[in-house]
Structure 1
Amino acid sequence: MRIWAIADLHLSFAAPKPMDIFGDRWRDHPQRIATAWQRLVAPEDVVLLAGDTSWAMKLPEALVDLRWIGALPGLKVLTKGNHDYWWDYARKRRAELPAGMLLVEADAVAHGDWVFCGTRGWVTPEQPTYNPATDERIYRRELGRLERALAAAQRLSEGQRRIGVLLHYPPFLPDGRPTRFAELIAAAGAAFCVYGHLHRRADWNAAVQGERDGVRYHLTACDYLNFVPSLIVDEAGHVRERSYPG
């Protein structure tokens, strides 16, 4: 079993929203993702999707996108992004998903030698865009969700399985300083964390990747990866140092 990751698919098959309005880089991006995914991912592999999977506002429209993903190889594990408006309560939505697709939000799932957990994350008080009036409640809620997710992962790991974390927002500041999210991940002894959300070249260049406090971080926004899933853990169980554009 190998573990792959790719985030920010921004699919919109039910109500098309062409992503090439954000640049030619996005032209025909679903087909490019599918072609690379089918070439690389085996049925026994796991693919982590760290948020912004679908533009849909409601689940019926999102299911068109989720079924498209479900037809691709591998077990899929998803966490929520800031544009996943269709995702209200994970517990309520799990039964409606295609087979072979799992949601994690403030909890964890075990598969093979691994436990996967996660939440969305949020902007933090150290960032200039942070507005206490609108962000404080969400920030505190997301911290609480990550704490519960990591606690659940530690219980499921039973000291035998390793922990992988999915966040949508990067857990570091643009200058590389860790946020409280990164501190919690390191304290839990996670092996790796995948995240997305970043879509500008300057942000990619500043993004933290590689090992920090024993955790290996991977930027997996699909446009950063040239729409090719990134290998996170190989067949031997080795965690790669970082993600590289495909």
Structure 2
Amino acid sequence: MSLFAIADLHLSLGEDKPMDIFAGWDNYVERLTKNWNTLVTDDDTVMIAGDISWAMKLEQTYTDFKYIDDLPGKKIFLKGNHDYWWGTKSKIEKFLDNNKLNSINILFNNTYVCDNKAICGTRGWFLENESDADVKVLNREVGRLEMSISEAEKTGLEPVVFLHYPPVYCNT
């Protein structure tokens, strides 16, 4: 059993927002499929740390989620800044259940056990905040991270933290 991590898939299989208009994104879905199928087995877990689908509403994510669900392994979704479709955890879980997308779980104020590790995390936010709104979002994300780590500690396993935003950048 292995744990893999990837982010920024920016899938738009059911929407008209192709990423291959950008340099380096040519045939990215085909390359992702080939590499995923080469590396990941059904016994593995893949953390998808945000920016999963360009869909604006949860109902529009089905084609992207079905694509991911059909790939090998168990998947854990973490919210990214472009996941505009993200609602409450219960609404997403109901959508996954109703659509029989059984290999996908949502990481949101909780933790998942993977082998001998406790997987936890949150989206995060910019550390260099210039507005009160950014400070508010950062503080909310800190609280979510604390909840997720607290849940991980209850397992007695080593926490492994994932963030969509890097914990440091710029001149730090």
RMSD after superposition: 1.2
Counterpart check, 1:21 vs 2:11? no
Matches within 5 A, 1:1-246: 1-23=1-23, 25-97=24-96, 98-124=101-127, 127=128, 130-156=129-155, 158=156, 161-175=157-171, 177=172
Aligned length: 168
Aligned counterparts of 1:147 and 1:170: Cα–Cα separation in 2: 16
Q: Secondary structure of the residue that 1:19 maps to in structure 2?
A: coil
Q: Secondary structure of the residue that 2:93 maps to in structure 1?
A: helix
Matched residue type, 1:92: K
Q: CA deviation at 1:52?
A: 0.2
Conserved 8 A contact 2:78-2:121: yes
Matched residue type, 1:166: F
Aligned counterparts of 1:153 and 1:8: Cα–Cα separation in 2: 25
* Gap runs ≥5 in structure 2: none
Moved over 3 A (4+): none
Q: CA deviation at 1:134?
A: 2.5
Q: CA deviation at 1:22?
A: 2.3
Q: CA deviation at 1:46?
A: 0.7
Q: CA deviation at 1:104?
A: 0.5
Conserved 8 A contact 2:3-2:114: no
Q: CA deviation at 1:81?
A: 0.2
Deviations 1:194-218 (A, max 9, x none): xxxxxxxxxxxxxxxxxxxxxxxxx
Aligned counterparts of 1:143 and 1:136: Cα–Cα separation in 2: 10
Deviations 1:128-179 (A, max 9, x none): xx332321211110010001110011012x2xx222212100001223x3xx
Aligned counterparts of 1:26 and 1:173: Cα–Cα separation in 2: 24
Of all paired residues, the percent bearing the same amino acid is: 40
1:183 maps to none
Aligned counterparts of 1:38 and 1:16: Cα–Cα separation in 2: 25
Q: CA deviation at 1:86?
A: 0.6
Matched residue type, 2:2: R
Aligned counterparts of 2:46 and 2:21: Cα–Cα separation in 1: 27
**TM-score between the two structures when normalised by the length of structure 2:** 0.92
1:213 maps to none
* Gap runs ≥5 in structure 1: 178-246
Aligned counterparts of 1:63 and 1:140: Cα–Cα separation in 2: 31
